[in-house]
Structure 1
Amino acid sequence: MEFNFNDGGRSKYFKGETGDCVTRAIAIATGVDYLEVYKELNNLAKSERIGKRKKKISNSRTGVYRQTAEKYLESLGWKWKSCMKIGTGCQVHLKANELPKGTIICRLTRHFTCVIDGVINDTYDCSREENRCVYGYYYKD
């Protein structure tokens, strides 16, 4: 699968590397400014509850919980398409011929990435030589 280095506009505002894959993927896919996505996700995180398994709230820079990302994407009109069911194993991989054309945000193990017409737009090639399993993806009608 082709790869295109894209930080989603992060370098305009911040330096260094961080675990901001959700913020970056959403900024790339939606065209919304990175800093705006960053602030909105942090605002949504304020309503999160901490529990036994969830020790801290989401943070745009260090990691956003799936539910928070989903809430933000739904507010922008994006929908979820699951690629896995319980007990089925991996059905869809991060391969151009297994994913739809257009702009999608793929949810992988501990990572979100933006794929535009079969090209990964991220800060690194996360496809693991096209063996990486896709749990599902967000798309806009």
Structure 2
Amino acid sequence: MQVYEDLRLANERYAQVKNDRLAKRLSIKGASPRNGNHRNVFHDYILAQGFEWVPTMKIGAGCQVHLRPDELPNGVLIAKVSKHLTTIIDGVIHDTHDPSRDGNRCVYGYYIKKRQDLFGGA
């Protein structure tokens, strides 16, 4: 519930500050995360939770990494695939459905949880 509320507030702030198509859509449909979250909203939120972004695709290079455990590192990941984010923990997808398309779905990049050192620092 906390993440949902945080994203709702972030959507609301975005709609108030920006003057683009997303802001207009959020104003009309409402700021609820059920209506979707734009990358400008979720990207900053995920980074603020202690993750770092690792791109896996370059323009014109084609798909290099697929949604398969052998092509992704261990740890806590949030993978960006077409029109969806999914969580992978040590190679296991945690989602309401299997978004892997039998291991053929391309990963545009992923957020990986930064490791904490022994003294609690980043």
Q: Would you say same fold, with TM above 0.5?
A: yes
Amino acid at match of 2:47: E
1:70 aligns with 2:43: yes
Query: 2:13 pairs with 47, 51, 58, which one?
Result: 47
**How far apart are the structure 1 equivalents of 2:21 and 2:2?**
31
Alpha-carbon spacing, 1:50–1:86, altered in 2? closer, same or farther (3 Å): same
Alpha-carbon spacing, 1:76–1:53, altered in 2? closer, same or farther (3 Å): closer
Larger helix fraction of residues: 2
Amino acid at match of 1:129: D
**How far apart are the structure 2 equivalents of 1:53 and 1:38?**
18
Larger radius of gyration: 2
Contact 1:114 1:121 in 2 (8 A): yes
Aligned to 1:120: 93
Aligned residues: 107
Structure 2 runs not aligned, ≥5 long: 115-122
**How far apart are the structure 2 equivalents of 1:94 and 1:50?**
35
**How far apart are the structure 1 equivalents of 2:86 and 2:92?**
10
Structure 1 length-normalised TM = 0.71
**How far apart are the structure 2 equivalents of 1:96 and 1:64?**
26
Structure 2 length-normalised TM = 0.81
Give the alignment's Cα RMSD to 1 decimal: 1.5
**How far apart are the structure 2 equivalents of 1:36 and 1:82?**
27
What SS does the corresponding residue of 2:86 show, helix, strand or coil? strand
Structure 1 runs not aligned, ≥5 long: 1-34
Alpha-carbon spacing, 1:53–1:64, altered in 2? closer, same or farther (3 Å): closer
